Structure 1
Amino acid sequence: MHQSPHFTPDQPPSPSLRSGPQRLCRWRQGAALTLLALAAQLACAESAQDPMALSLEELMNIEVSSVAKKPQRLLDAASAVYVLGREDIRRSGATTLPDLLRLVPGVQVARIDASRFSVSIRGFGNRYSGKLLVLQDGRTLYSPLFSGTYWEVQDVLMDDIERIEVIRGPGGTLWGANAVNGVINIITRQAGETQGVYAQATAGTQERGMALRYGTSLGQSGHLRAYAKLDEHDAQDVTPGVSANDGGHSARLGFRADLKPAAGDSLTVQGDVYDTSARENVQYSTPYPPMTSFVPSAAKYSGSNLMLRWERTRNSDESWHVQSYVDHTALTDLLHHQSVLTFDTEWQHRIRLNPAHEITWGLGYRRVMDEIQGSYTLEATPVRMSTSLYSGFVQDEVRLGDDLQLTLGSKLEHNDFTGFEWQPSARLLWRLSHNDSLWGAVSRAVLTPSRSSRDVQMKRDTLTGVPGLPVPVLVRVEGSQDMVSERLVSTEIGYRSQISKELSVDVSGYYNRYEDLVTVSPGNLRFDPAPVLPMKFGNQMNGHTYGVELSGQWQVNPAWRLKGGYGWQHLRLRATPGSNAVLAFGSEGSSAQNVLQLSSQHRLGNDWELDANLFYMGPLKSIGRRSAFGPSESGRIDGYTRLDLRLGWKPRPGVELNLIGRNLLQRRHQEYIGDDITASQVPRSVLLQATWAY
């Protein structure tokens, strides 16, 4: 059991981040404004439609590129894909990427504390879960040390995002290992679309920020933009009146240049540099009692990246591109210092051989060099490591008829941990009509072992009251060199239709079979010199999930659009016979079985907008680490309903003011549960945002 978090470690933690300014307004004042806006919405019978908004027919014909690594109509995508467009992003009121992803049906987002999030698709919700591949303009954002994503450092100016494409389901055939349960691809706008000056300022009860962007022409050859962004988050409460010590701040600079060196050629160069600090409570161990407890700490993240992409389009039947990037990240906290340098390059070629066959194929190479300087609590052996990944893929789109298309493909990778891995898929699309499509898919995907499960040893917890032992027993989680890749075989089916000009629906179902899931299991008690219970990483669990996902849009009138999404899933996991292992990251109950989303976008007049987003998340349950001396501990949080409102005003072209209220139905609630990190209460908050473009 955890001890009281009162003792001070050998190194004193950094001083607390300064608290935020006094609240801008009371919640009741914000609620009064939103009620007035709702009354105005009901009174508004006719209004002009926003010229930036797309009709439902245009939305169904929008091009996506993440499913087949080439542009294709959304209606022609044989996958459970959802596109979050510019208008949705602008009207969301979100200031972080995870909050923005709440709008995507099938994506489960849980706020852990003021800076950290858990984002998952089709189960296995956890801060360190690695079954979701996240990319920005083709650059992977996950950490190779645990194959997951540090969401607290993933940031971008919202106005720079062209769209976010979310694939629910495996994408390993094109994107490689770790694209197991889904792919999130953040696609930013070209520099030519962001010319002039853009400024944004936000101030609220929980956060403040500002951003500045400038775009200019490079003559006949192209365009350039550069931006700077600052943000600060106040600490939340772990219980009413008790600070969670989780505030943070971040600073980010970046640029993008798009050039046209010759006809048919395009060259993109972009890069970012950032510095982020986030306070936290971490498990800290000492060789003397109380041995293990949660103590305050400050995590400092920094990084930089530079990417170059060259594309050539010879004609409508052939194109190729080469993309290379270098990415450096560093994290320092009370337990360790980690540094990762990644070099990645890929080449892709698309060619139509004849009217019935279009081939897309490519080659890739990635080199990762990392260093983990540990402490008594956390150790890595070896401290430094370099790994290489070689990959190649091929995909053939076969037209079986005017209305039937079969897509076959596979990716072959070689990594230094498990050797060769193959990830094939077969997808069949049947166009029932111009506005209806039915699709099915069978895919295989893998999640390769990470450094955290192979080479890291962490003193994790303390057990007291063990029979025959008057002193506490230290629980030590130990990596294993015998780790193998997790494997998934997924079967999916879906239907997508634009029923009328005003109504569209999208429904999908899936059955996923998992093998060799990453687990931890207790070993034999030993003395080193104090009593230690080892918990060894392994692959001693199999299981399956199945579920249904439904989403739709309804254009009520030219000024009012409703969107909705519902997801239901069932997860069943079993340890291998004779094993008492538990899932290493998350549990069967760490993702909600039922999730509901409802959104309303209403234009109240030429200058006013009112948007409402309602979310329901079912109850969550976490199973504690199993020991050899007793049953597992478990925790639970009840389901919750969250309402976010945005009232927008455009007093003149280029100027926009937004009043945003979040979590308006409750004073505070908890969204995450797990035994690996302390979660805080998400409070009700109000935010005022102003943007200016010239």
Structure 2
Amino acid sequence: MKKLQTVLVLFLGMAGMLAQDVAVTGTVTDDEGNPLEGASVYVSEISVGTSTDANGNYELLLKEGKHMLRFSYIGFAPVARSIILGPEGMTIDVSLQASLLLDEVVIISGSKKPEKITNSPATVVTISPRQIAEYAGNPAELLAREKGIDYFRAGIAVPAFNIRGFNSNFNSKNLQVTDGRNSSLIATGLPMGPLTTTIKEDIEQIEVVLGPNATLYGPNAHNGLINTITKDPRIYEGTTIATNLGVNSDGNGYYSARLRFAKKFSDKWAFKATGEYTKATEFIYADSVYIDRNADGIKEGYPEYDLDNDVEFFKTEASAYFSPTEGTDFIATYGHSNSTYLSPTNVGRNQIIDWRINLWQLRFNTRNFFAQAYFTNSKTDDTYSIDERTKQYYRGIDSGLTEEEASGEYSYASAAKFIDDSKRFNAEVQYSNTLFDDKLELVTGLQWQLDKANSHGTYLLDEDEDDYIDVAQIGGYVHLDYNFGHGYRGIAAARIDNHEIYGTNFIPKLGLLKAFDKGTLRLTYGQGIAAPTILNLYGDLFSGLILGNAEGFTLTDGSMVESQGVEKVDTYEIGYRGSLSSRLYGDFNAYYNINKDFLSPVTVIGVATHRGDTPIEEVQSGYAFYNGLVATYINFGKVNTYGADFALTYSISPKWNLTANYSYFDYSFDEDNMDNDFNNDGEVNFLDFLINSPTHKFGAGVNHNGEKFFASLFSRWVEEYNYFSSYQIASETLPDYTYRGSPIIEDAPSTDSYNYGPLGGFVTFDLNFGYHFSDSFTLSFAATNLFNTEMREFTASPPTGGLYVLEAKFNLD
């Protein structure tokens, strides 16, 4: 083993033999000039760093060329310096401050390489390590404070977000990434969200890209991307124990305990491990299930049957870091989660029971190369649709079964229960470098993915536990960033993506940027695609009434329904991000989107004779009842959307700042283009597109970041808006309009659900504060919806009441 390690070290070191190590030295102080002992100095692209000595001094030996240095210290805002290191070396002294230096934030999501946020060609918002560490609640709540994000609290366990319209109760158009890996479910394409294996104490930074970034990340980085970056144990060393006690406005309890251990054993080896157990009771709420139990054909609402409001999460992760030579890393990660909670869908809620995620990831990283391979397994045996189980229960009662007979296995007999035993294999290689005297930055790579979906025949067109639905895709990308001088840069990027079902797509991006002393103006064009999910392509629900559309359908009149392909968006955007004065920081963007070939909600297409080349009676298990009547997914239409986002941060002092943000969103379409008539009612209107986004949003907050005491008060206003998503409806009364065959009347039943009225239309306040009693102990408090404002943020979920959480955190060396 020792000989093998020696050979590996020699092999990996050969590339650097011709380049000399050059010293970067300096001093790190606070804003009063006092040296900071133990401050971190870290080189982002090669994961190399050091700490300052008792006098605040540091020294790093680096190869000549371009580097991004990050300076950080607990309780202070980080500072970033981009340098080009020559043979003579360099001295860099920095002063850290307690205030938020937003222009110094280093991100990787915009260009898939470390860069200052002010230099990024994408619109990116971040949640910083300090914000996460000092917030007692779920860090996802902090997304509600950012511009451009529609944030929803669908109960205690299910925070969700959307960007730039087209939200639904089954939204897969925002890609979720964690440490470079795709964190979405295999069969449905939905973000893992609560199913993730990462705990709060191991999150270094959350980065959200507003708008498409598909050239680098592939399909479904369409409306936006959320990237979670975890902590490196070589920088964030030690043991953290955290526990939360809370209560919601209904008096139901919330408890969480978490542990993070991280240790750098030597210059070559480091390790971290995390664990979490969380238990809570959901807000008191029972959705209505509408059932026709009478001869008059009128549906009546019944509470969800046998509702279980218990919420329970268990999560664990472990990572080993091996650095055979300086700047070269091998990182192996294992993660597991087991989750039980209530999840809103387009047709009521799902009772998620013991949904397990297992993942294995291996990463290799040097200055110019990155490679990874990872495997994800998603598994549940007992999860079920509450809506369908409730209907089946009452079918049993109406047929003369006893309560005991109807409530047992019979209540799952109509495919209410679904199984998931799906697997995903991913691999990626990436090369990056600077060329032509560091004027051109190149990032290029190749990504491969194989999905193997299996539902044991419960909701997909697979037959049993051995019959996997295999779907492969591969994509290659190149991203070029050229420095013309005088602050001007040009961006050109492209991706070719090939999917074995919906074919090949070319995805371009272009940009022009002008850098000023403290900010950057950018003008960009980019394209995004939203891909059909495996459920869209191979779904089999309600005994074949709903069938996936991977092969197209032939109808009885001989007409063809094309197989579903990708949805595309072309985005033109202008923005500025940077300091407007010594105390004022601004982030502004405006965009115009051309959206076309929408991925439709499920829709009835008529009576089919064939799915692809297969007779429909061989596909539709309920053919004897449906006689070929099929509902499926299609592409349709074109609509233009546009908007603007503004955010300001004003530093009153190093410890106090004010924030404010505003977002505007609207849309237009051609009423005479009948390709836009999705619901086939002969008229093109808003009910064909279901934009589902407020036109106006506003937020404002005040923040205090002291050495001991910290606090934040944030208020947001969300304009009232109408929302439609399959069964779900939340709308004001709209005379002369119908939805799913019923008049649209507020506070009244609709066809399949109850219309409580529009979403939004509220002003709410969130408060958090805490105190660092010592370097080892912090006590903090967070109140979400402080005054328990009555409001509805999402359909098929409870009104969002107050949630009050106390957190105790122990940091041990």
The TM-score, its normalising length taken from structure 1, stands at 0.81
1: CA distance, partners of 2:688 / 2:198: 28
Deviates more, 1:594-603 or 1:274-283: 274-283
User: Of the candidates 630, 642, 664, which is equivalent to residue 568 of structure 1?
Assistant: 664
Match of 2:568 in 1: 487
User: Of the candidates 71, 76, 81, which is equivalent to residue 52 of structure 1?
Assistant: 76
Look up the equivalent residue of 1:142 and give its one-letter code.
Answer: S
Question: What is the number of residues matched between the two proteins?
Answer: 609
Shift of 1:477: 3.3
Match of 1:330 in 2: 379
- Whose RCO is larger (CA < 8 A, sep 6+)? 1
Match of 1:614 in 2: 715
Match of 1:353 in 2: 435
Matched, 1:409 2:511: no
Cα pair 2:75 2:707 within 8 Å, conserved: no
Shift of 1:640: 1.7
Cα pair 1:57 1:501 within 8 Å, conserved: no
SS at match of 1:269: strand
Look up the equivalent residue of 1:235 and give its one-letter code.
Answer: E
Q: Percent identity?
A: 18
2: CA distance, partners of 1:399 / 1:502: 29
Cα pair 1:410 1:425 within 8 Å, conserved: yes
Match of 1:639 in 2: 761
Look up the equivalent residue of 2:582 and give its one-letter code.
Answer: K
Match of 2:651 in 1: 555
Matched, 1:522 2:604: yes
Q: Unaligned 5+ residue runs, structure 2?
A: 1-72, 79-96, 248-252, 288-302, 385-416, 551-562, 609-621, 680-684, 727-737, 745-749
User: Of the candidates 576, 579, 586, which is equivalent to residue 498 of structure 1?
Assistant: 579
Distance 1:51 1:213, change over 3 A: closer
Look up the equivalent residue of 2:529 and give its one-letter code.
Answer: V
Shift of 1:638: 4.2
Shift of 1:117: 3.4
Cα pair 1:94 1:100 within 8 Å, conserved: no
Deviates more, 1:364-373 or 1:422-431: 364-373
Shift of 1:182: 1.2
Distance 1:281 1:613, change over 3 A: closer
Matched, 1:77 2:120: yes
Matched, 1:299 2:353: yes
SS at match of 1:637: coil
1: CA distance, partners of 2:808 / 2:358: 28
Q: How does 1:147-296 map to 2 (within 5 A)?
A: 147-154=189-196, 156-205=198-247, 206-238=253-285, 245-279=308-342
2: CA distance, partners of 1:366 / 1:84: 29
2: CA distance, partners of 1:174 / 1:116: 28
SS at match of 1:159: helix
- Normalized per residue, the structure richer in strand is 1
Matched, 1:544 2:646: no
2: CA distance, partners of 1:644 / 1:195: 31
2: CA distance, partners of 1:106 / 1:579: 27
Match of 1:68 in 2: 111
Look up the equivalent residue of 1:52 and give its one-letter code.
Answer: F
Cα pair 2:197 2:337 within 8 Å, conserved: no
Shift of 1:92: 3.1
User: Of the candidates 355, 369, 377, which is equivalent to residue 320 of structure 1?
Assistant: 369
- 1:383-437 C-alpha deviation (Å, 9 max, x unpaired): 6211211111112212223211111010111111111111110011011x21132
2: CA distance, partners of 1:578 / 1:368: 32
SS at match of 1:192: coil
2: CA distance, partners of 1:99 / 1:556: 25
Match of 1:135 in 2: 177
Match of 1:588 in 2: 690
SS at match of 1:523: strand
User: Of the candidates 135, 141, 144, which is equivalent to residue 99 of structure 1?
Assistant: 141
Cα pair 2:450 2:471 within 8 Å, conserved: yes
User: Of the candidates 525, 534, 543, which is equivalent to residue 442 of structure 1?
Assistant: 525
Distance 1:282 1:137, change over 3 A: closer
- 1:95-122 C-alpha deviation (Å, 9 max, x unpaired): 2x53232233212111223322331111
Match of 2:537 in 1: 454
Shift of 1:649: 1.7
2: CA distance, partners of 1:223 / 1:621: 51
Look up the equivalent residue of 2:695 and give its one-letter code.
Answer: Q
2: CA distance, partners of 1:585 / 1:165: 33
User: Of the candidates 433, 451, 455, which is equivalent to residue 368 of structure 1?
Assistant: 451
2: CA distance, partners of 1:295 / 1:446: 28
2: CA distance, partners of 1:585 / 1:125: 13
1: CA distance, partners of 2:676 / 2:774: 66
SS at match of 1:397: strand
Deviates more, 1:346-355 or 1:153-162: 153-162
2: CA distance, partners of 1:389 / 1:258: 30
1: CA distance, partners of 2:349 / 2:522: 51
Look up the equivalent residue of 1:596 and give its one-letter code.
Answer: F
2: CA distance, partners of 1:373 / 1:192: 43
Shift of 1:669: 2.8
2: CA distance, partners of 1:142 / 1:544: 28
Shift of 1:631: 6.0
SS at match of 1:162: strand
